[in-house]
């Protein structure tokens, strides 16, 4: 099978993480989430984590050189050699250019860019309901994708928690950051003929995945 080097693009709360869980299960690609890697660094209290935390708490982007370094190291791991799924990276044009350059050095290139397009008002609503399992990380939404028992993970009974940066003030700045710094990537990847749109507004995860699956099948 041809290699899939996939980017998931979309605003905060668009459903990238939820779609990523499904793509990973179906295609066996390693899930590379810069947000997740940065949250782990914050939890460990490493120098990089302490540096990243101040940006994350205010909903701003961590500096490009920090995130590019994290992705460069992660893509060099053996499990990424046969394909990967990037979730939350790139988020700026300089990050996209750095990614293209590091892949080109290895004779590789991005094969699919999937935009999960959700209107800004809906992003705020979705993030307010977002929860994740404190044990396995599985994502839920109390309104759109609830667990069988409120507050408890279906898979392992873990407590469901809310991310520190999922409060309303931070969400508004994250959406503004998306529109200013990340939305230009839509043009960047359209010009390369790579961008495919999976409209997510008003849709449940299964409905969005039906489109994402078709895009990745190509
Ligand atoms: P996410 O889990 O993708 O929503 O990311 C959470 C936060 O981590 C973001 O609001 C940023 O502060 C930071 N972050 C994640 N990925 C990146 C990236 N590619 N570039 C800069 N900051 C990032």
Q: Is the pLDDT of residue 80 over 70?
A: yes
Question: Which of the residues are catalytic?
Answer: 16, 91, 130, 163, 174
% of the chain surpassing 90 pLDDT: 89
Q: For all residues of the chain together, what is the average pLDDT?
A: 95
Pocket of ligand 1 (CB under 6 A): 12, 34-35, 38, 55-56, 59-62, 67, 88-89, 91, 95, 165, 174
Q: Is the pLDDT of residue 214 over 70?
A: yes
- Which residue lies with its CA nearest to atom 11 of ligand 1? 61
Q: Give the pLDDT of residue 153.
A: 98
Instruction: Read off the pTM.
Output: 0.91
Give the DSSP letter of residue 152: B
Q: Give the pLDDT of residue 17.
A: 93
Question: What are the tens digits of pLDDT across the range 133-166?
Answer: 999 999 999 988 899 999 999 999 999 999 989 9
- Topology, domain 4-118+194-217: Rossmann fold (3.40.50)
Here the contacts of 153-160 (C-beta below 8 Å, separation 24 or greater) are 158/133, 158/134, 159/133, 159/134, 159/135, 160/131, 160/132, 160/133, 160/134
Mutation probe of ligand 1 site: the residue of 19, 33, 35 with most atoms within 8 A of C-beta = 35
Q: What is the three-class DSSP state of 174? A: helix
Q: Give me the half-sphere count of Cα atoms (radius 13 Å) on the Cβ side of residue 191.
A: 7
pLDDT (average), residues 69-80: 96
User: Which of the four pLDDT bands, split at 50, 70 and 90, describes residue 121?
Assistant: confident
Q: Give the pLDDT of residue 133.
A: 97
- How far apart CA 156 and CA 115 sit, in angstroms, is 31
Pairing of strands 83-87, 31-33: parallel
pLDDT (average), residues 115-143: 93
Measured from the CA of 174, which atom of ligand 1 is nearest? Answer: 10
CA 87 to chain centre: 3
Q: Give the pLDDT of residue 1.
A: 59
Neighbours of 35 (CB within 10 A): 20
Q: Is the pLDDT of residue 23 over 70?
A: yes
Q: Is the pLDDT of residue 33 over 80?
A: yes
Structure tokens at 69: 């370094």
User: Which of the four pLDDT bands, split at 50, 70 and 90, describes residue 169?
Assistant: confident
Q: Give the pLDDT of residue 218.
A: 82
Measured from the CA of 39, which atom of ligand 1 is nearest? Answer: 8
Contact at 8 Å (CB) between 66 and 53?
Answer: no
Q: Give the pLDDT of residue 125.
A: 87
- Ordered by start, the domain boundaries in the chain are 4-118+194-217
């Amino acid at each position: 099978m041809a290699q899939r080097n996939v980017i998931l693009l979309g605003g905060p709360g668009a459903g990238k993480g939820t779609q990523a869980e499904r793509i990973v299960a179906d295609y066996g690609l390693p899930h590379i989430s810069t947000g997740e890697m940065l949250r782990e660094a914050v939890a460990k209290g490493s120098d990089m984590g302490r540096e990243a935390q101040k940006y994350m708490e205010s909903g701003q982007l961590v500096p490009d050189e920090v995130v590019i370094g994290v992705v460069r190291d992660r893509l060099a791991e053996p499990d990424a050699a046969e394909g990967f799924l990037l979730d939350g990276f790139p988020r700026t044009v300089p990050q996209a250019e750095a990614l293209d350059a590091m892949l080109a050095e290895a004779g590789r290139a991005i094969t699919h860019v999937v935009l999960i397009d959700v209107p800004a008002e809906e992003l705020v609503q979705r993030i307010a309901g977002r929860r994740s399992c404190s044990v396995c990380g599985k994502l839920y939404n109390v309104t759109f994708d609830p667990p069988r028992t409120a507050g408890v993970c279906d898979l392992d009974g873990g407590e469901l928690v809310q991310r520190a940066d999922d409060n309303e003030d931070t969400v508004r700045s994250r959406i503004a950051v998306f529109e200013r710094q990340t939305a230009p990537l839509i043009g960047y990847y359209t010009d390369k003929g790579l961008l495919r749109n999976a409209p997510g507004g008003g849709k449940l995860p299964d409905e969005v995945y039906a489109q994402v699956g078709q895009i990745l099948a190509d």
